Structure 1
Amino acid sequence: MCYDRYVSICKNLHYGTLLGSRVCAHMAAAAWASAFLNALLHMANTFSLPLCHGNALGQFFCEIPHILKLSCSHSKLRDHGLIVLSASLYFGCFVFMVFSYVQIFRALLRIFSERSRHKAFSTCLPYLAVLSLFFSTGTFAYLKPSSISSPSLGLALSILYSVMPPALNLVIYSLRNQELKAAVWKLMTRQVQKH
């Protein structure tokens, strides 16, 4: 999504060539393949762990750090290696998004029209807020010190980074649709008044 905004704002004359259907299909396939490989590695590792502390989790989701607490194996190095691999994938995506948004904001600050600048900022900022919520709560959930670990905090963080971003995306899209509906309605009423 951020690459789409980057190309549409910073390289708008080349939008059709930079984001054709083939490029979009390749980007989607790369994202799905990397997510599937990451999930497959974690699933294989999780199913190979012997659980000696029972199998009941007091959490909303069956997440990797909580499963590691139930494990009695000495394969912590393998488990932490997979978490580092996942974190590096997420960090790479995060760096790509930050780079894209820095370029977008640099281009927006060069726009002379205040109205165009406001419209572009109002398009980008809600998505940036959702991304910030997702990355900050997800990072805190996985990297928080064990001294502040509690089941209620884990549940709240799980809900914040897994349920809230998709819900906020729906709200953002519906608000944008409301603006679109209002603009169409205004245009139609002007046309009716002219005749």
Structure 2
Amino acid sequence: MERKNQTTLKEFIFLGLSDDPKLQSLLFALGLMIYVITLTGNLTIIILIQADQHLHTPMYFLLSNLSFTEICYITTTMPKMLWDLLSKDKTISFAGCVIQMYFFLTTAATEGALLSVMAYDRYAAICHPLRYTLLMSQPILKWLLAASWTVGNINAIVNTSFIFSLNFCGSNKIVHFFCDIPPVLHLSCSDTSLAELVTFIISGSIMITTVSLIVLSYILIVSAVLKIHSAQGRIKTFSTCASHLTVVSIFYSTAIFTYMSPSSSHSMEQERLISVLYTIITPFLNPLIYSFKNREMQLAFLNVLGKK
């Protein structure tokens, strides 16, 4: 009888980043520019790696897959956010919210797994240069890529299933610009403790495992680099890891704040601002800090232009 008195929500309403019309116009222009640059930058990386034979190496194979994941990742949230900034209708259907969360969680966890695989790649290249081609052979690369997407899908299936099995019978206003776990849980009129525990265990396990692999890889890398006698040699060797470490720092610091800290420790507004960093800024910065500062990528770009 209690369940019959509860109203099942058919749609949600995004409150977005701002309700100020002037600020919304500014955010739309800025957001559209970031989205176009992100797509262009990451697509350029993929095309350059495919076009230049010198970039047909494990490191660049992984980088092209990271760029593809970044495109999928930002596209799960950005087009809808841009539409809402211009439209008065900021609704999303219940099914649409489920689908958006599923793909967001899939690509987010896949990116985290790929970053740990890329750390392993740097470890293999620096610590075992003579065995590098064996350790990062095509079959191993394909297996690692498949494993990364499998982790992403498991993360999404489990979390999405638990969250949307809850009852939603109160407000349908999401204090966010997309269907993320914390703001959707905030709307449930059920006991969310089990769903929060599942999120903490599943997402936490993925984060702890991937971060641990990254940290272990870099401990071994630093140990190997310190054995190089030349200071210039040490700097040159470790410089190949600098961009990866920057991306890892931005991605994981914001994700851990959102998913691993108690929901009562921060407001929805704080989560909304922090999520801008890992959903929009990280994919935007990836081509800039990971590739276009890379000399081999610059040469590949010039070669492609020269051929044309």
C-alpha distance in 2 between matches for 1:129 and 1:32 = 22
Q: Secondary structure at the match of 1:70?
A: coil
Partner AA of 1:126 in structure 2: S
> RMSD between aligned alpha carbons?
2.2
Q: TM-score, with normalisation over the residues of structure 1?
A: 0.84
Q: Cα–Cα, structure 1 residues 179 and 29, in superposed 2: closer, same or farther, change >3 Å? A: closer
User: 1:45 touches 1:79 (CA, 8 Å); kept in 2?
Assistant: no
Aligned length: 183
Query: What is residue 119 of structure 1 aligned with on the other side?
Result: 236
Query: What is residue 14 of structure 1 aligned with on the other side?
Result: 131
Q: Mapping of 1:107-146 within 5 angstroms?
A: 107-142=224-259, 143=261, 146=264
C-alpha distance in 1 between matches for 2:297 and 2:133 = 26
Partner AA of 2:169 in structure 1: C
Q: Secondary structure at the match of 1:51?
A: coil
Query: What is residue 73 of structure 1 aligned with on the other side?
Result: 190
C-alpha distance in 1 between matches for 2:266 and 2:191 = 24
| Aligned-pair CA distance for 1:55 | 2.2
Higher fraction of helix: 1
Detail structure 1 runs of 4+ shifted over 4 Å in the superposition: 177-180
Identify which range, 154-163 or 16-25, moves more after superposition: 154-163
Query: What is residue 168 of structure 2 aligned with on the other side?
Result: 51
Higher relative CO (CA 8 A, sep ≥ 6), structure 1 or 2? Answer: 2
Tell me whether 1:4 sits opposite 2:121 in the alignment. Answer: yes
Q: Cα–Cα, structure 1 residues 75 and 138, in superposed 2: closer, same or farther, change >3 Å? A: closer
Tell me whether 1:25 sits opposite 2:142 in the alignment. Answer: yes
Q: Cα–Cα, structure 1 residues 150 and 73, in superposed 2: closer, same or farther, change >3 Å? A: closer
Q: Deviations over 1:15-62 (max 9, x none)?
A: 111110011111111111111111011222232221122222121231
Q: Percent identity?
A: 36
Q: Deviations over 1:98-133 (max 9, x none)?
A: 000111111111112333221222221221122112
C-alpha distance in 1 between matches for 2:298 and 2:231 = 20
